[in-house]
Amino acid sequence: MFSARSTVFAACAALLMALAPIVVSVAAPEPIPEIRLEHGRFQPGELVVAADNPFQVRVTNHGPAAIEFESFELHRERVVQPGETITVYMPPLRAGTYRFFDDFNHATPQGAIVAK
Ligand SMILES: [Cu+2]
């Protein structure tokens, strides 16, 4: 049986199928977490990420002097100039706590990335 109703239904189904890939492609990407060096400390001091998943983290230096974002446990050492934002690419981490610090100023409290 072919009715006007089923024709409309078929047209709608075809349109939905055509739009489906577009809907998928505009899905919001995971926001990249940010660590800020501000007022002499890292904020947040503890950043929680999902374990066993690669991720990125942005590090922004809002202070007046260059910093060195460093972590022995994460094998990272990156200079960040005042006003600069860097992106650090991280491999999947096992659950645990990974400390980081400013190697140019050891008076700066340490921070940590916590994989859960
Ligand atoms: Cu260093």
Ordered DSSP codes for 29-94: PPPPPEEEEETTEEESSEEEE-TTS-EEEEEEE-SSS-EEEEETTTTEEEEE-TT-EEEEEE----
Instruction: Give the Å distance between the CA of 32 and the centre of ligand 1.
Output: 24
Residues at Cβ < 5 Å from ligand 1 ion: 68, 70, 77, 103
Instruction: Give the Å distance between the CA of 77 and the centre of ligand 1.
Output: 6
Q: Which amino acid is at 8?
A: V
Model confidence, pTM: 0.74
Over residues 62-102, the pLDDT tens digits come to 999 999 999 999 999 999 999 999 999 999 999 999 999 99
Q: 33: which residues sit within 8 A by CB, 6+ positions away?
A: 47, 49, 55, 57, 58
Instruction: Give the Å distance between the CA of 67 and the centre of ligand 1.
Output: 9
Over residues 102-116, the pLDDT tens digits come to 999 999 999 999 999
Confidence at residue 29, expressed as pLDDT on a 0 to 100 scale? 73
